[in-house]
Structure 1
Amino acid sequence: MKKSRMEYDKLKRKQKWIGLLFFLIGSLITISIIITVIALYPNELTSLVKTHVTSQSTSSSSTSVDDKPTSTDSSEPLQQTHTFTPRTNFAENTETPLLLKPLKDKLEQDIASRELSGTLLAIKNNQVVMYNSFGYATDVPWKAQESTYMIASIQKFYTALLISTLISENKLSLDTTLNKFFPEIPGSDQITIDSMLSMTSGLKLDTGKAPTSIKTQKDWENYILKTTTHQNSTEWDYSPVNFGLLAMIIEKITGISYADYFNKTVKKPLDLKETGFYTELSDNSHLVPVYEENGTAAKNEIPDYAYVRELGTGNMYTSPKDFAIVVQALMDGRFEDLNNIKAAWLKATPYGTTYYKSGLYRKVLDENGPTIFWGHGIFRGYEPTVIFNNDASDMVIYFSNQYLTNKSNTIATKEFYDIISQNVTFNQ
């Protein structure tokens, strides 16, 4: 009897310890889940808290006759929004989330294995994984977050954004023909805005043959109107003159310069601190100097005629952060109706396995899988490359101050994106 009592007590103690063990395991699992959610989706949680607080505040003050409703619709046109908060937090003192540190480690290892120079901004789930400069881009007295670069052909993305904004304002349509603005261009009655955005218009202009005596925008515009030719073809053919003419159309419709319209529509509403045009360059622009491929500093200043030729196609500078802000704002419907985005941006032109429209290439990785956008440019030693997913929650923005003829910069950017996206491999 005594032995049975002892066995019973022993069993009770064992059950007690087992129960305690299960409790501890359950607690650890719960804590892990909470940490994971906070680490991966802090912005979403913050949004929920703000929404809850706003809801309570609205309910408590709903009896006031003088209260006026305030729209919180994220798709409200940006020009009507008094303040703008970027989707991603770019504060300099923001640490990489714990669960994203392995991605940062992989990026650092990858960068260390290459000979690169530039500034890299990597974003995962709307959070900054890395924002660093390396190579010759560190030979400046300012921080990586302040570094700017000439963005070359990626500016075509901004030009397309301004065009689609005018479409949203019913001042233009994708079917509008070029002869409405510039009938002197050959074949202009057959060329639509849509075909210009997708570079299937047949327009051609050899900018390399333009005389260096052209040093003003007005002279360049006259040169475009006099020397642009047209081939009767709807095949994709990369021809920057399409976007030069789109920039001229923007000026004709708005009555102000391309730069002024960009500043009014994009720069000021988004509070872009590190974005501007070549005419605004100064020591405070923090433009990272260019290095030759052999590692020597480029001593020659960029001549004015080189900038002038890039109207709407590559005479702007910006930072990786500012570029990310613009892309995410576009994807959030801040500029235009989402249906216009689909029409002007997602309906692309076949180009092998890749599609091109509105200044960016688009690639559908598989029939039911993700879609990614990417852009690339080269201008006087600057070589920017950008890659991002459908909603721009995952982004890799690599601006280089050293053009590499072996395509090392573009190859590296694609591999950086492979690391960030984890389960997606981008092979062009």
Structure 2
Amino acid sequence: MRQRIDALGIKGSVLVISKGKVLLDYASNNTTDTSYLINSVQKSMTAAMVMKLVQEGKLSLHERLARFYPAIPGAKKITIENLLAMTAGLQLKPGARLGRRHFVSDRDNLACDVKKTVFKPKMLGKWYYSSLNYVYLCGIMTQVTGQSYEQLFRATYVEPLQLKQTEFLWSKPGKIIASRLVPGMIYRGGRYDVVKHKKALQAAHDELGAGSVVMSNHDLAKVMNYILAGSLLSKKSRRELYRARPPAYYNGGFYNDASLGLKTANGAGEGYYTFMRSTKTAKTMIIIQANKTRKGEFAVLKDRIDKLIVELFAKKISSF
């Protein structure tokens, strides 16, 4: 198993859990408790937070976006369920980016995003990947609860699970240092250049709920277990949240492979990679994170990891 993972050439931290027990826990670069920016893997956590509100009767999957953001084009036709599955038909205007150039507040960023959002009626009900969906889900949760996304995240995951290497990228320097975050790096011109913290911080604010948290492998595994098999959600809630359709079988922040019973989440950006593969009960899980990246490398690595996982499951390797 280790040889197969090492052959991917990823320099970072690796955690493999098999049948509920740690099988491999090592680092080919950094340490086993290093934290990394998890980017889009955070969407699975945001989705579970939304589903928790649905479970508590504070929100409905069939609720219309217009209740919260009436100025968004097509809001009367779009549901919370559409946002979770990325089938809302929403996109940013050509050339636009999430957030404001100079961050003011989450609320201000959301107001800016509303002005830059377009609705494609023919895409309603069809899958189109965009973090915009999850940014709006964060705003909706804040309106429903009166708490910021960060407050909700800490109350949902950090505090009950006693996470030690989990922080928001904009946290105070002391907290970031305590989380053991390493800087993201991108290979350019024959060397790895460190991504400037200011640039990464801007992206983290823009990607609220979809790419603003740093975590170690062990903290990430705890959260995945809590979401997929713990007490956060009921079995009924999980069935509803992860109900997915082709072509991507995406819902609730995961790509859901029913044939193998796998949940897949990937994150890339600001010099970081995160790859997470788990069975639907979180009994078996692989997490690989790195802070040394190359342009065009992410898609290749993702495909190689997917093929490796499929092969391992198909052969039913005993050690896995």
Structure-2-length-normalised TM-score: 0.88
Asked if 1:158 is matched to 2:45, the reply is yes
Is 1:403 the equivalent of 2:284? no
If each structure's strand is expressed as a fraction of its own residues, which one has the higher value? 2
| Residue 225 to residue 114, structure 1, CA distance change in 2 (3 Å) | closer
The CA distance in 1 between the partners of 2:225 and 2:240, in whole Å, is 18
**1:423 matched to 2:315:** yes
Quick check: 1:261 aligned with 2:261? no
> What TM-score results when the alignment is normalised by the length of structure 1?
0.67
Q: Which residue of 2 aligns with 1:372?
A: 262
Q: Which moved more, 1:207-216 or 1:396-405?
A: 207-216
- What is the CA-CA distance between 1:418 and the residue it aligns to? 4.9
The question of 1:310 aligning with 2:207 is answered yes
Contact 1:278 1:307 in 2 (8 A): yes
2:161 aligned residue (257, 260, 270) = 270
Tell me the amino acid that sits aligned with residue 180 of structure 2: H
Higher deviation after alignment, 249-258 or 410-419: 410-419
Give 1:348's match in structure 2, choosing from 213, 232, 244: 244
Where 2:13 maps in the other structure, the secondary structure is: strand
Show the counterpart of 1:50.
Answer: none
Letter in 1 for 2:284: D
Bigger Rg over Cα:
1
- Give the Å deviation of 1:264: 1.0
Q: Deviations over 1:309-345 (max 9, x none)?
A: 1111101111111111111122224112210110112
Give runs of aligned pairs for residues 22-421 of structure 1, distance below 5 A.
106-107=1-2, 109-134=3-28, 137-138=29-30, 143-144=31-32, 146-205=33-92, 209-210=96-97, 212-232=101-121, 233=123, 234-280=125-171, 282-293=176-187, 294-298=190-194, 300-303=196-199, 304-345=201-242, 347-351=243-247, 354-365=248-259, 370-404=260-294, 405-406=296-297, 407-414=299-306, 417-418=309-310, 421=313
Task: Return closer, same or farther for 1:424/1:411 CA change in 2, 3 Å cut-off.
Answer: farther
Q: Which has the higher helix share?
A: 1
CA shift in 2, pair 1:113/1:385, >3 Å: closer
Specify every segment of 5 or more residues in structure 1 that has no aligned partner in the other structure, as ranges: 1-105
Q: For residues 284-331 of structure 1, what are the alpha-carbon distances to aligned partners after superposition, in whole Å with 9 as ceiling and x for unaligned? A: 221122232354241522434222111111011111111111111222
| CA RMSD between the two structures | 2.1
Deviations 1:186-216 (A, max 9, x none): 1111100111110111011259634523453
Shift of 1:389: 1.0
Give the direction of change, closer, same or farther, for the CA distance of 1:341–1:207 in structure 2 (3 Å limit): farther
User: Structure 1 CA distance, aligned partners of 2:253 and 2:94?
Assistant: 18
Is 2:91–2:119's contact at 8 Å kept on the other side of the alignment?
yes
Q: Distance in 1 between matches of 2:291 and 2:101?
A: 24
Q: Does the CA contact (< 8 Å) of 1:373 and 1:388 recur in 2?
A: yes
Does structure 2 retain, via aligned residues, the 8 Å contact 1:396–1:413?
no
Q: Is the 8 A contact 1:250 1:258 kept in 2?
A: yes
Give the count of matched residue pairs: 305
The unaligned stretches of length 5 or more in structure 2 are: none
The SS at the match of 2:226 is: helix
- Cα distance between partner residues in 1 of 2:195 and 2:39: 19
